[in-house]
Amino acid sequence: MTPLTTLVLMLAIPSLIMGFINWALYPLSILFELRQKTPPALPRNPRVTVVIPAYNEAVVLAGCVDSILASGFPNLELILVDDGSTDETLQIMRGFEHDERVTVIGKPNGGKGSALNAGIARGTGDVFVFADADGVFSRSTIPRLLEGFRHEKVGAVCGNDLPINVTSPLTALLALMTHVGTGMTRRALALVGMLPIVAGNSGAFRADVVREVGGFREDTVGEDLELTWRVQFAGYDVEFAPHAKVLAEVPSTLTGLWKQRVRWQRGLIQTARIHRARFEQKPSRPVDAYLPINLLAMLAFPVLQLVGLALTVLAVALGDIRFDGIVEVLVWAGMALALGVTVLSLVLDRAWRDFQLLIFLPLWILFSVMMSCVTVSALWQEARGHEARWNKLARTGVRTLDAAA
């Protein structure tokens, strides 16, 4: 075995390790499902304030608001915040003011964190639910979120956001990735107290905790991630509610996907920089021990993957590697792991109709390479001090699914 081949195999090890970790997470996900349910540790008949920030969301906003108002939750307050839109978003919001549950706030454009904080300032609920303007709720979304507040130290609960616009191989693949990354992984991490994020389009927070930690930061594009970390650093647990489903759009173009994921990665880097002092302290909670591992997996492994891929191409060109023997075993092992983890994730989410999407799973390889390139781009932009733009996803209003009851 040549030195180049040895190096390629060594660089393949991190990817295999992450694959086996996913397999190890599956039993934890099962335990999460079997965990005894307890009544929510909230006031009787809690008041829930749903905050929807919106910037140029005229295409999808009405559907989102209709779904929330039709959910039938008995003690609901809905706050719609227009963040300086240049389309008809504010006018659409005004059209819902006849409903006494709805409050509309118009403000100059200041970013998503600013809009969310404006909603928090007006909110009167015991629990805040934060969602995006394209989210579609079912009648069970809010009650399921509240079930996640299993004890008094739960400060936030992450819902299960699922694609509503599965119309192409790309959106089909993203639907599969959602079941793996959200449905299975978050179950396992929540069980052991290591869930690192409450998604910005499907999250619930105790109102007193949000105010205690100071609301959202307005100087990062990862405001949901950063708030989640502060809630945990303040001593509160973060739970996952897999059956609190919110249907929302995923990118339908590669350009949209690239911009969205670069923003996500830059938000992670910014959040890690904001809280870098935390990594110098002795871990006091499980999440403290997990966050460095998460950063390694999210930021370092993708770079190693690209280096390994480049060296593999070079080794093949030089005749140092043939796709037989150990290399063939590694390739097939990786494909088997991907298929197994995805199938198990679909079972956990009871997503029986999404089994038909498995034909698009081979695209995972190209998707993985693209996500590694996204990480490199995000690291480069942060290192160069490029302005972090929101690059909001262009909505289509396409729906291939309806929210389940």
Say yes or no to pLDDT of 36 above 70. no
At 159, give phi and psi (nearest 5°): -85, -175
Overall pTM > 0.85: yes
- Report how far apart, in Å, the C-alpha atoms of 122 and of each of 49, 64, 198, 201 are: 9, 20, 22, 19
Arithmetic mean of pLDDT, 84-92: 96
Angstrom distance (rounded) from CA 339 to CA 326:
20
Length of the chain (residues)? 405
Q: Which tops the pLDDT comparison, 19 or 141?
A: 141
CA angle 132, 136, 141 (to 5 degrees): 100
Sign of CA dihedral 17, 272, 191, 216: negative
Residues linked to residue 136 through DSSP beta bridges, in sequence order? 247
Say yes or no to pLDDT of 405 above 60. no
Q: Tell me: the pLDDT tens digits for 291-350?
A: 998 898 899 989 988 888 888 778 777 776 665 666 566 667 667 777 888 898 899 888
User: CB–CB of 141/69 below 8 Å?
Assistant: no
Which amino acid is located at 29 in the chain? Answer: S
DSSP 366: H
- pLDDT at residue 247 in the model: 95
Say yes or no to pLDDT of 224 above 60. yes
- Containing 18, the helix (H) or strand (E) segment is helix 3-34
Angstrom distance (rounded) from CA 133 to CA 257:
18
**In sequence order, what are the residues at sequence separation of 6 or more whose Cβ sits closer than 8 angstroms to the Cβ of residue 34?**
none
Say yes or no to pLDDT of 355 above 80. yes
- pLDDT at residue 19 in the model: 61
Tokens of 342: 């995805």
- Looking at the chain, the whole-number percentage of residues with pLDDT higher than 90 is 64
Q: What is the band of 13 on the pLDDT scale with cuts at 50, 70, 90?
A: low
Q: Is 13 left (phi over 0), alpha (psi -120 to 50) or beta?
A: alpha
DSSP 52: E
Q: Tell me: the pLDDT tens digits for 191-219?
A: 999 999 999 899 999 999 999 999 999 99
Say yes or no to pLDDT of 20 above 80. no
- What average pLDDT is seen over the chain? 89
At 156, give phi and psi (nearest 5°): -155, 155
Q: Which tops the pLDDT comparison, 344 or 119?
A: 119
Q: Tell me: the pLDDT tens digits for 53-81?
A: 999 999 999 999 999 999 989 999 999 99
Q: How many helices (H) and strands (E) does the chain have?
A: 14, 8
User: CB–CB of 159/204 below 8 Å?
Assistant: yes
Angstrom distance (rounded) from CA 27 to CA 49:
35
- pLDDT at residue 10 in the model: 64
Angstrom distance (rounded) from CA 116 to CA 53:
6
Angstrom distance (rounded) from CA 325 to CA 347:
33
Angstrom distance (rounded) from CA 107 to CA 104:
10
Q: What is the band of 38 on the pLDDT scale with cuts at 50, 70, 90?
A: confident
- Report how far apart, in Å, the C-alpha atoms of 321 and of each of 4, 15, 187, 327 are: 9, 19, 39, 8
Say yes or no to pLDDT of 263 above 50. yes
